[in-house]
Structure 1
Amino acid sequence: MAKTAMKSAKKPTAKTAAKPAKASAKPAAKVSAKAAAKPAAKATAKAAHKVKAKPAKKPALKLSMLKPSVNNMTVRVFARAAGLDAAETDAWGHTRSPEFMARNPAHLTPMIEDKGLPRGVLWESCAIMQYLSNKHGLEKFYPKAPAKRAMIDSAMFYLVGTLYPYVARATYPFLGFPQYAGEVGHSDAHPDKKSEAQKAAMAAIAEPLEVFHSFFRDGKPFIGGKNPSIADIRLAATLEFLAVIDYALPKWAKEYVAAVEKKLGKAYAEPAADVRGYIAYVKSQAKT
């Protein structure tokens, strides 16, 4: 009976002791497995993220341009200064192609392509800057206040309608650019007549130039006030062309262009370098 009692007493104790041990071992094993799995899962996820890198976003704006042109320089400077995501395409030699003409029957640059436009494209530098300023709320370059905006518009229209035709007539023959229909330089007139027209244009530049100084700037650093506006970008770019005829800019105009470049930094300097480089090339060819 003693042996039976001993056996019956030992068996329950061994089994009872073993059960808690197994029970306590299972949670510990699961915790260790989960803890080890987390870093491995994170590493795998990171590796997968690196492999599946997101493709670069396509530029929201396409700009077809000609590097030697101040009209094109205007929009190139503006796009950079405004921080717009624009992809530039050099359209030199392609503006008369069927593909380009299908989109732009005027075959003019600069030209932007943007989904928000009724016909998908827009040319004319001033119109492009106005559109992009309105679309992106760039009041720094193109104020919304009616009176201030009117002055910016007036300065640009006066430039395009009065100053730029003189600049084009005086500089285009030296630059090798085709002139507008109706211009003396575009006709079959005698070379002496063309030369007279160029000299007359050079002499006429001084008057509208002074209007920008005394009326539109009126003692301010820029037409836009403390900061360059779209009218300032257009004017500064236009004055760049006068270097090809060694036009003697008044002191204020030289300081003005330098101030625009300083204020806008690389946004101005990089496109300006293309225009200045082309002018230097043309002048070097004229000497040989």
Structure 2
Amino acid sequence: MAVLQILGKASSINVRKVLWTCAEIGLEFELTEYGSGTTNSVTTPEFLALNPNAMVPVIQDAGQVLWESNTICRYLAARHGRTDLLPQDPLGRAQVEKWMDWQATELNNAWRYAFMASVRHSPAHKDIAAIENSVREWNRHMEIADRQLQTTGAYLCGEQFSLADIVFGLSLNRWRATPIAHANLPALQTYFDRLCIRPAFLSYGANGIA
């Protein structure tokens, strides 16, 4: 079987979702660096032919091209029979995908402005009221996750580690690393400590990169 090809930069949070998933599966891959600086956008004709959205990551596997990080993670888990990461039964799978979709839409939209202002120092993100609102919404969404973890006592979807924890674990690491006022959420701290037991999270999550 040909080695999985991953296109993207190793510092990208979305690329790290895929790298962490590969590590959990034990999947060999080759990473080709695309993107530079603080942007995940790649506008070369070569790359646009693979992903017209101009964003990393992209994978090439078995002669096929796939983009969108959460979709790639789901594909890899399903392709390699990792029903522990993505259950086969419809309801179990939907529970995992629910949190993955929440991370990609609700949570990402909450943190984006504050992160761009506080970490990326983007000149387009200087509005104080917008920063404060983003911080408030970011903390509110993390409180949702904290309440879920209080209920499960382990991982987002219960006792079993899943793809939901990969995509959210990276978002949690970003929240912790960003210099904002953080809500006091003990269940998230316990959860973070639990993730840190996993070597793949230390390599691609809690590795000093927000």
Q: TM-score, normalised by structure 1?
A: 0.64
The residue that corresponds to 2:182 in the other structure is 248
The residue that corresponds to 2:88 in the other structure is 144
Of residues 168, 173, 184, the one that matches 2:117 is: 173
Q: Does structure 1 residue 65 correspond to structure 2 residue 8? A: yes
The residue that corresponds to 1:17 in the other structure is none
Q: For 1:62, what is the secondary structure of its paired residue?
A: strand
Of residues 196, 204, 210, the one that matches 1:261 is: 196
Q: Does structure 1 residue 123 correspond to structure 2 residue 28? A: no
Distance in 1 of aligned mates of 2:78 and 2:182: 36
1:199-256, Cα deviation, whole Å (9 max, x unpaired): 1010112222222232476233002433321011101101122212244252221221
Q: Is the 8 A contact 1:71 1:238 kept in 2?
A: no
Distance in 1 of aligned mates of 2:6 and 2:191: 27
* Aligned 1:103-122 pairs, distance under 5 A: 103-115=50-62, 120-122=64-66
Q: For 2:86, what is the secondary structure of its paired residue?
A: coil
Unaligned runs of 5+ in 1: 1-56, 186-190, 280-288
Post-superposition offset of 1:73: 1.4
Distance in 2 of aligned mates of 1:122 and 1:178: 30
The residue that corresponds to 1:206 in the other structure is 139
Counterpart residue type for residue 121 of structure 1: V
Tell me the percent identity.
23
The residue that corresponds to 2:151 in the other structure is 218
1:132-182, Cα deviation, whole Å (9 max, x unpaired): 111111101001111111111111111211111111121023333879xxx
Unaligned runs of 5+ in 2: none
- Kindly tell me: are residues 153 and 178 of structure 1, through their superposed partners in 2, closer, same or farther at Cα, counting changes over 3 Å? farther
* Aligned 1:40-51 pairs, distance under 5 A: none
The residue that corresponds to 1:196 in the other structure is 129
1:252-283, Cα deviation, whole Å (9 max, x unpaired): 21221221121x22x11112355x24x5xxxx
- Kindly tell me: are residues 177 and 136 of structure 1, through their superposed partners in 2, closer, same or farther at Cα, counting changes over 3 Å? farther
Q: Is the 8 A contact 2:6 2:32 kept in 1?
A: yes
Distance in 2 of aligned mates of 1:144 and 1:124: 21
Q: For 1:103, what is the secondary structure of its paired residue?
A: coil
The residue that corresponds to 2:22 in the other structure is 79
Counterpart residue type for residue 235 of structure 1: F
Distance in 1 of aligned mates of 2:99 and 2:149: 7
| CA RMSD, Structure 1 to Structure 2 (Å) | 2.4
Q: Is the 8 A contact 2:149 2:187 kept in 1?
A: no
Q: Is the 8 A contact 2:110 2:141 kept in 1?
A: no
Q: Is the 8 A contact 1:156 1:231 kept in 2?
A: yes
Counterpart residue type for residue 92 of structure 2: K
Q: Is the 8 A contact 1:76 1:271 kept in 2?
A: yes
* Aligned 1:262-281 pairs, distance under 5 A: 262=197, 264-265=198-199, 267-272=200-205, 276-277=208-209, 279=210
Post-superposition offset of 1:68: 2.3
Q: Is the 8 A contact 1:74 1:233 kept in 2?
A: yes
Post-superposition offset of 1:131: 0.9
**Rg bigger for which structure?**
1
Q: TM-score, normalised by structure 2?
A: 0.86
Give the paired residue count: 204
Q: Is the 8 A contact 1:141 1:229 kept in 2?
A: yes
